Structures are given as structure tokens and as C-alpha cells.
Structure 1
Amino acid sequence: MAKTDKKSAPQRPNARLPKGMRDIGPAELRQTQAMLEKIRAVYERYGFEPLETPAFEYTDALGKFLPDQDRPNAGVFSFQDEDEDWLSLRYDLTAPLARYVAQNFQDLAKPFRRYATGPVWRNEKPGPGRFRQFTQFDADTVGAESIAADAEMCMLAADALEALGIPRGQYVIKVNNRKVLDGVLSSIGIDPTSAADSAKRMTVLRAVDKLDRLGPGGVAELLGKGRKDESGDFTKGAGLDSSSIEKVLAFVESGTKGDAALDAVAPLVTGIEIGAQGLDELREIGALVTAAGYGPDRIKIDPSVVRGLEYYTGPVFEAELLIEAKDEKGNPVRFGSVGGGGRYDDLVARFTGQKVPATGFSVGVSRLQAALNLIGRAPKPAPGPVVVTVMDRDRIPDYQKLVQTLREADIRAELYLGNPKKFGRQLEYADKRGAPIAVIQGTNEREAGEVILKDLIEGAKAAAAITDNKEWKEARPAQVSVKEADLVVEVRKILARHTD
């Protein structure tokens, strides 16, 4: 027998996922859809309209707002088209919105209010629970200079979390203002308007943005010479001296002073116009949300919030869960931010040359969903379809008719399409599909004009309680015979029993 020539054998690709990516199964997808519908209802109630933009844009349209700006694909996934123009997968939903507004500026009703949801991509180092593709759900108001638009975003964020079943007292919307931080930076010699100081300013912002994860000590390292993480990777710091580091930390830690936070910050920006302007805007937001019934237990001023992206120009806000939880190993879990946003008055101006005020809020759907699952608050997954089994291969048309009867009654149903020879495997399949009911009709049932409905959910409960095989056979749990004409009515009764 001739040996197979290894060189001529087909080269099969490895079945593997790209780093930082993941597959999402039907149960999680259905859960995500249920969450999105609840968020969508809140956004619609606030008067926002849907918009969808492409997954990728010209790289210059997205702007260089992520780390490592020296090359176009740093921080984003990029490629060149046939004209050698750089294209990039969107890293958020806001930059594409700015392009859309600039392109359609004359035809839009302004302020323009839109919401959008979809995947975004970040070409960053993946880690546990940190993926390179994730889902966001944004609401934005473009063309409104009023601080009332920012206050509304904070109220919308609170309402969205409550719509997902998170009660008051177990979340908070934290609000700060980039202008205040720029005032602090000005006081230590970093000019927020200078291109020469831009890189140092962003290094400081990104360092402060990691306060909840690294603590004051880790932030201090990033404000100074730099920090080496657990893997040994070194992140270069902002190079500030010790007195400047102390001043920045004093600013971000003033958030622990509660209602006195603004009073604690004020001395840090004395005589600096942009800082004073930021404080006035924060006071206005506080007055607006209070007047609308959103107290500090729901929306509060917190100078530790800065947001990592460069394009924010004024108020910034983050939604944080306060619920205590533990992971599978019993370790305490800190959820951190599950959404955020802010004002970005210069983003559209990159295209139009004129200032177009804008503000928005984004829910980090993937992170929020993981948090809700951990605390048992995520929407329950919908049951699988009713499975009609096949007892007689020659009667498949009759079984298909049963399936169609259920579908026409708006009940999810499917016919078992595998090999029907071993009936037990059909029930195993139904279990794996999460089917609530299996429909069975043998010769005896057909002659009597009946079908057997096997309640698989109730059956699983009974099976767990019955340990004696004889008892199991005698009980035949959760299995009833009904008239074929009553199929829809009886199936609905069983489904209702498990959804009430």
C-alpha cells in the first residue's frame, strides 16, 4: 500500500479564535437582546431616534484618540483598501456619529438626537474579562450647548440602569468636568491648549482614569516615572515631579468628600478661568438633576472621573454599580464603570471647521451583562423551541403538520431532523436545545387522535427528586396525553406554568 505524500495532503487551518475575541452562544445572545430592548425603551422615551453607521470608517475620520498615535493601527484594527487609503474598525460609536453629522449637517434637525448600538473594536492587550470586541449602546445629543443636555444624559443613565432591574442605592452616576482637571493641570505647568503638552496631558488623564483599578499608589506611579504591571510590561509615566503628583491626587481623591467635593477642589484652581468655568458647570448640573428628582444617591459629583478618550471637552460621567458580589472562588468583585460619556464639542469641528456642541452616554453592554449575571439580575434566557419527535419515519408529513400548527399559533417549534432510530437521543437533543416540551405521537396515540406532551422542565425537577428506578417508571413525571385538537391550548398551559 502506497504511503500518503505528506506534501500533497491538504493544509487545514487551525480552528482557533483570534486573541481577545470570543464566540457568543444563543442563551447569551438572547439575554443581550432582552437587555438592549430595555435600554432602547428608555432612549426612545427620551426622544432619541435610531441610527446605524458602518463598522469601519476612514482612519482619519475616526481621529487619533487612542494610545500610540504614531501609527494608524495602534489602538485600532486597520487595513488599506485598493486605493491605499487607511480604513479602521470603529473603536466607539461616537466618532462615526461625528462624521455622519458633518456629512449631513444641513439636513438634520438640530439638536440632533440619536441612539445606536453595535460592536466596537479596540486593538489593545486582552486580559480576563477584557475583550477586543464588545458591544456599546449610545445616546447622543448634537447641537445643544446647554448644560441641561449633559444633565439629561446623567438622568438617562440612571433610568437605563433602573430599567434593567438595578435598584436605587446599588448604582451611582458620577459626574466631573474636564475643564476642572485642565485647570489643575494648568496650575502645575501643563497647558491644556498646547500641542506640545498634549501627550503629557493625555498620559495624566489615562493615569487618573485607572484610579478605581490601580488605586492612588498605581496612579502615582503612572503620573511619575511609570509602572510595571503583573505581567512585567512597563507603561511609561507622565514624568511629573512629586509636588505635581500630590496636587493631581488631591484633586481626584476629593471625590471622597461627598457634597463637599467641589469646595475641596475650588482652591486647586483658584485664579484659573477654565477651572472656575468647569466648577460652575458642575454646580449647574447638580441643580438641574436635583430639581428633576435625582438626588446624590443616584447622581453625584466625583472629581475622580476623567474618562480615557481625548475628545471630551467638558462634563464627563460614569455609571458605576455599587452591588457587593463574589466570583466563583469567593473573592470580592468590584464592577467599576459599566457605562459613561461626556461632552465633546470639538469632534464634529474636525470636519466642519466650526464648533458643534455635543454630548452623549454609552452603556458598556458586555460588561454590564457580565455584572448582572454575577449578581443574578440578568434577564432569564428564553426557553428553546417545542420539539416534535419522530416515532415513525414514514409519518414525517404528519409530524411536520403538528409543528406547523404550533408555529401558526406563534409558538416556537421544530421537528427533530436527526436520525429517529433511537428515541432516547431525540429527548437528549430536546434537553440540549433547552426545549420546554417534547411532543410524542406513536401509533396508539395517532389512532386515538391524541399526542403525548412531555414537560421537560418539570420532568428534570422530578428526576432530580426520584432516586428509585421503579419509582421513576411508575411516576412517569410531567407527561400527559391530550387530544390532538387541543395541542395548542395544552402546550400554552405548560409554557405559562414556567413563565409566570
Structure 2
Amino acid sequence: MAKPKKQPRPKAVTPKGFRDYFGEEVTQRTEMLRTIAGVYHRYGFDALESSAVETVEALGKFLPDVDRPNEGVFAWQEFDEGGNGDWMALRYDLTAPLARVYAQHRNDLPTPYRRYAMGPVWRNEKPGPGRYRQFYQCDADTVGTASMAADAEICAMLSDTLETVGIPRGDYLVRVNNRKVLDGVLEAVDHNRVYDREAILRTIDKFDKVGEIGVLELLTSGRQDQSGAFIEGVGLTKTMAEPVLAFLTSKTNDQGKTLANLRYAIGNSKIGAEGVAELEQIGALLDAGGYGSDRIEIDPSVVRGLGYYTGPVYEAELTFEICDEKGRKRQFGSVSGGGRYDDLVKRFTGQEVPATGISIGVDRLLAALREKGRLSAQATGPVVVTVMDRDRMADYQAMVAELRNAGIRAEVYLGNPKNFGNQLKYADKRNSPIAVIEGGDEKANGIVQIKDLILGAKIAESATLEEWKERPSQFEVPRDELVAKVREILDSQD
């Protein structure tokens, strides 16, 4: 009889496009999100935790760059007893779920409804360097008001958030534009909608990369890129392309002149005039709140990609330089974006419900704070009570209980206690601040040894023998002073 074939062991690998987060990273993210939540709360926003799973129907067709939502999301079909199936999917952002929540609970929610949400989202896209299929977002939205004061408030709150988490003024800029202005420009260019408007929008979005001449070439007959490949143009005449170029070059150091240039770019477009007027309102409100152009500015080059934006759009860009993987200097770039989306809730209710909001890329902002050396949260391990005599485990558990009851993170070493050196190695690997030692002699004399592992490591790195004598890193104290001494050492480490 043949031997049954052994089942192969599963491979211990992270799925492609996903990653694992360990102690310090999780601690830093938690601390940053707590800080951001404090700013949002101060502005009057309430927390919302919506389901991580939505119906594909509820998510809609708003995922960037795909025609069908289940092409870009992790989706599956659930069948009922009758064999009827509904498609479900992991949320790809935090805005589409908000639209569903508001439509479902609008009779119980205040209007306007201010909410913030933080959590993971999932996108079934091709992963790449720094691009994962699961990542964190941090959103804030106001639903139920068409007032430009809501948009100005979102921009102000984004500015305050960046400064509060540790991005100083001068190292960031919140840039504001309006999709209505862009629609007005497109109307001025192609009133009869003969040309591909999406192609024109994609070309406008390349302004930062190819400049004014490059945009003109792409809008008209085409251009060769750096690799020598020829990129087909949209086919506009130079005269038709003029409003686009006027729009893209309208920004000046004076907000009033920028708005005047935008009025010229939109020509006689009614929708464009609405957009310029809205930008003017936002600018005046921000000025009244003390938010100058060093923090928030009107910038016509901001073109958000998602199809549901209907009015003002915003982007927070970090302006300080970093070196890329090839050692070249470049600006850090965008960490947040958003805008007004007045049609999203309408899919559920049939009635237009105005809404506006932002989304912060949590991993991007964490990377920026790391680059600036602004991450103070450290994953400090617990106080480790070592085990010198396994028969006295109850004594060690009593010590841990006292420390925990005093609000101090602590644990008993649960490995093989035979080698004391391994216990200290374990404490080092846990990034523990203190080790507590009580052998038979200490027990008999009613004392404990408390070792300051942080100070001990610093002394071992650089101290002379005399400094060792002056700065002891191990203390002998009466057993009943254990908690007080541990707290004293922890305070000194802070």
C-alpha cells in the first residue's frame, strides 16, 4: 500500500502587495492618528467607524482608472438559500462608505453632518515600490451644506493638522482649485464637445512634469517623450489650446491677480464664473481666519483625478526636499487631497446632497515625519521581572501585579530561566526599560535589584570606569519600594 502523500507546509510569506507592521511602526501610527483626531475633534467633527465591507452596488463606479468597480476592489459573491448572489467588496476608500451611511441614517444625523474616519482600505491594483494593496487613510468630511465656508474650514483644518503633527509652516502648502473653473476652461476650448475631454484633463495634469510647451504639444499635434517615443496629441489647434495655457499659467503671487487671470481663461463660461466666485469666497474666508498664502493658496494646477469632484478641490503638498532611491533631490510631494462631491449621496437618495472633505495618506505622512525626525513615539517594552528560581513564580507574579496595578507595563519572563543572560537578551530585544531581579539572597534580605537597561546601554557604549561609578545603572531597594523606584527610573528615562 502506497504511503499517503505528505501535505506540503504552507509558505510563510506575506501576500503580494501587503505588508506586516510591527511594534514601533504601529505605535507611531497610533500616536499620529490620535493627534490628528484631536484636531478634528477640536473642529467639531465626530468619529465614525463604518463597515470594512460594502456591497459593490454601494461602492459604485468611482474607483480611479477602472470602468467596473470589481476590477479594482477585492470582491466576492455571497449566495442566499435561493441561490441569488450579491457582490460584496472590501472598501477602497472611506468616502464611498460615508455616502452610504449618510443616505441610510440621514434622518437620525444632524445636518450638516461632520465626521472623521480612520482605518485601512484595500485596492486590487498592481503593487509597486511603496504602493500597497492595503493602506491607511484618515478622512474628514462635512455632508449637507453647499456653503463655501465648509470648504474653507476643511482647508484650514488640514493646515492645522499638518502643523500639529510636526510639519512646520514653510514645509507644506495646501493648494486649492475648483473643478468648475476647469469645466469652464474646457467649455471655452471645446464648446461643442468634439474632443476627448478626459485626454485634455490628463494633459493638464502633466503640467508639472512637461511644462507649458509640453502641454501645448500634447494638446495639439503630439510630442516625443524622454525615451524618444512619440505621444499622440489631442488634436486641438493652438488657438483652441490658448485657454488651457492661460488657465495653467494664471497663478501669481497675488490672489486677486490669479482670480482675474482665471476669469480671462474661462471666457464667457457660466460654470467657470461660478467656480471663480467660489474660489474668491474661500480665499476671503481663509484670510479672515488668518490663513495666508504661506499656508493655503489658490493654485489652478491642482487637478484631482477622481470623477466625483464637482467644485473646490484641495491638495496638501510637502515642499521640503528629500533624496530618492537614486540619490536625486526632489520635493516630498502630496500627502493629502480632497474636494467637493455634491453628487455622491444622490446615487442613494435621488436628491443632491452637497458634501466636501479630505483624505490624508497615513503612510505617506508618517514617512514625511520620519524624514523630518518628528516621530517621538517609541515602542517601549514592558518592565521585565526576571526569574531566578522557578519554584518562586508566585513571588514574581505578585511583583508584576503590583506594577500593573500602578499603571506600569510589566511582564514575567516566561522562557527557560536557566540562563540569566538570555533573560537580559530577551529584555533588550523587547526594548524593555527596566529588569527586576530577585534571587534567593535578595528574597532572604527583603530587597530587589532594579536594573536601568536604557542607562546601562548608554553607559556601556561610551562611559569610562569613573563614569560607571558616578552613574550606577543598577539599584538595590527594599522590596516594598519596588513600585516607587521603578516609577522614578521610568520618569528619569522620559
Same fold (TM over 0.5): yes
Kindly state the Cα deviation for residue 201 of structure 1 after the two structures are TM-superposed. Answer: 3.6
Report if the CA contact (8 A) 1:190-1:201 is conserved: no
Report if the CA contact (8 A) 1:34-1:379 is conserved: no
Q: Would you say 1:483 and 2:484 are equivalent positions?
A: no
Q: Which moved more, 1:486-495 or 1:405-414?
A: 486-495
Distance, in Å, in 1 between the alignment partners of 2:448 and 2:191 is 78
Q: Which of these residues, 290, 295, 319, is aligned with residue 292 of structure 2?
A: 295
Q: Would you say 1:11 and 2:8 are equivalent positions?
A: yes
Q: Which moved more, 1:114-123 or 1:261-270?
A: 261-270
Say if 1:175 and 1:381 are closer, same or farther in 2 by CA, change over 3 A: same
Q: Determine helix, strand or coil for the equivalent of 2:263.
A: helix
Q: Determine helix, strand or coil for the equivalent of 1:271.
A: coil
1:306 aligns with 303
The residue identity in structure 1 corresponding to 2:91 is: R
The residue identity in structure 1 corresponding to 2:250 is: S
Scaled by the length of structure 2, what TM-score is found?
Answer: 0.90
2:49 aligns with 52
Distance, in Å, in 1 between the alignment partners of 2:420 and 2:468 is 17
Kindly state the Cα deviation for residue 389 of structure 1 after the two structures are TM-superposed. Answer: 0.8
Deviations along 1:330-377, one digit per CA (max 9) or x if unpaired, are 542422111121111110111111111111122211110011111101
Distance, in Å, in 2 between the alignment partners of 1:89 and 1:220 is 41
Deviations along 1:426-476, one digit per CA (max 9) or x if unpaired, are 111111111111111111211121111111111111111158xx9999899
Kindly state the Cα deviation for residue 325 of structure 1 after the two structures are TM-superposed. Answer: 3.3
Distance, in Å, in 2 between the alignment partners of 1:384 and 1:249 is 57
2:136 aligns with 135
Distance, in Å, in 2 between the alignment partners of 1:485 and 1:160 is 46
Distance, in Å, in 2 between the alignment partners of 1:408 and 1:150 is 47
Kindly state the Cα deviation for residue 69 of structure 1 after the two structures are TM-superposed. Answer: 3.7
Q: Which of these residues, 19, 25, 45, is aligned with residue 22 of structure 1?
A: 19
1:248 aligns with 244
Q: Determine helix, strand or coil for the equivalent of 1:87.
A: strand
C-alpha root-mean-square deviation of aligned residues, in Å? 3.0
Kindly state the Cα deviation for residue 253 of structure 1 after the two structures are TM-superposed. Answer: 4.2
Kindly state the Cα deviation for residue 19 of structure 1 after the two structures are TM-superposed. Answer: 2.2
The residue identity in structure 1 corresponding to 2:129 is: P
Kindly state the Cα deviation for residue 185 of structure 1 after the two structures are TM-superposed. Answer: 1.3
Q: Determine helix, strand or coil for the equivalent of 1:33.
A: helix
Q: Which moved more, 1:211-220 or 1:376-385?
A: 211-220
Distance, in Å, in 2 between the alignment partners of 1:121 and 1:190 is 39
Kindly state the Cα deviation for residue 136 of structure 1 after the two structures are TM-superposed. Answer: 1.0
2:491 aligns with 496
Say if 1:103 and 1:225 are closer, same or farther in 2 by CA, change over 3 A: farther
Report if the CA contact (8 A) 2:119-2:137 is conserved: yes
1:332 aligns with 329
Deviations along 1:27-54, one digit per CA (max 9) or x if unpaired, are 1111111001111111111111111111
Say if 1:216 and 1:373 are closer, same or farther in 2 by CA, change over 3 A: farther
2:345 aligns with 348
The residue identity in structure 2 corresponding to 1:496 is: D
Deviations along 1:377-399, one digit per CA (max 9) or x if unpaired, are 12321411111111111111111
The residue identity in structure 2 corresponding to 1:49 is: D
Report if the CA contact (8 A) 1:221-1:237 is conserved: no
Say if 1:443 and 1:219 are closer, same or farther in 2 by CA, change over 3 A: farther
Report if the CA contact (8 A) 2:397-2:412 is conserved: yes
Scaled by the length of structure 1, what TM-score is found?
Answer: 0.89
Kindly state the Cα deviation for residue 239 of structure 1 after the two structures are TM-superposed. Answer: 3.2
Say if 1:355 and 1:414 are closer, same or farther in 2 by CA, change over 3 A: same
Distance, in Å, in 2 between the alignment partners of 1:431 and 1:210 is 50
- Map 1:64-75 onto structure 2 (within 5 A): 64-75=61-72
1:159 aligns with 160
- Map 1:32-431 onto structure 2 (within 5 A): 32-82=29-79, 83-189=84-190, 200-206=196-202, 208-209=204-205, 239-241=234-236, 243=238, 247-255=243-251, 259=255, 260-326=257-323, 330-431=327-428
Kindly state the Cα deviation for residue 498 of structure 1 after the two structures are TM-superposed. Answer: 1.7
Distance, in Å, in 2 between the alignment partners of 1:373 and 1:215 is 31
Say if 1:267 and 1:408 are closer, same or farther in 2 by CA, change over 3 A: same
Kindly state the Cα deviation for residue 214 of structure 1 after the two structures are TM-superposed. Answer: 7.0
Report if the CA contact (8 A) 1:223-1:237 is conserved: no
Distance, in Å, in 1 between the alignment partners of 2:218 and 2:74 is 26
Distance, in Å, in 1 between the alignment partners of 2:448 and 2:7 is 50
Q: Determine helix, strand or coil for the equivalent of 2:363.
A: helix
Report if the CA contact (8 A) 1:205-1:307 is conserved: no
Kindly state the Cα deviation for residue 228 of structure 1 after the two structures are TM-superposed. Answer: 11
Percent identity (aligned): 57
Report if the CA contact (8 A) 1:176-1:301 is conserved: yes
Distance, in Å, in 2 between the alignment partners of 1:431 and 1:224 is 64
Unmatched tracts of structure 1, length 5 or more: none
Say if 1:238 and 1:42 are closer, same or farther in 2 by CA, change over 3 A: farther
Say if 1:278 and 1:127 are closer, same or farther in 2 by CA, change over 3 A: same
The residue identity in structure 2 corresponding to 1:413 is: A
Distance, in Å, in 1 between the alignment partners of 2:352 and 2:235 is 32
Say if 1:498 and 1:327 are closer, same or farther in 2 by CA, change over 3 A: farther
Kindly state the Cα deviation for residue 262 of structure 1 after the two structures are TM-superposed. Answer: 2.3
Deviations along 1:139-188, one digit per CA (max 9) or x if unpaired, are 11111111111000001101111111222222111110000111111122
Q: Determine helix, strand or coil for the equivalent of 2:418.
A: coil
Report if the CA contact (8 A) 1:327-1:374 is conserved: no
The residue identity in structure 2 corresponding to 1:55 is: A
Q: Determine helix, strand or coil for the equivalent of 2:11.
A: coil
The residue identity in structure 2 corresponding to 1:267 is: Y
Report if the CA contact (8 A) 1:172-1:322 is conserved: yes
Say if 1:497 and 1:68 are closer, same or farther in 2 by CA, change over 3 A: same
The residue identity in structure 2 corresponding to 1:135 is: Y
The residue identity in structure 2 corresponding to 1:251 is: F
Say if 1:444 and 1:255 are closer, same or farther in 2 by CA, change over 3 A: farther
Report if the CA contact (8 A) 2:59-2:69 is conserved: no
Kindly state the Cα deviation for residue 55 of structure 1 after the two structures are TM-superposed. Answer: 1.1
Distance, in Å, in 1 between the alignment partners of 2:305 and 2:480 is 62
Q: Determine helix, strand or coil for the equivalent of 1:123.
A: coil
Say if 1:341 and 1:435 are closer, same or farther in 2 by CA, change over 3 A: same
The residue identity in structure 1 corresponding to 2:59 is: L
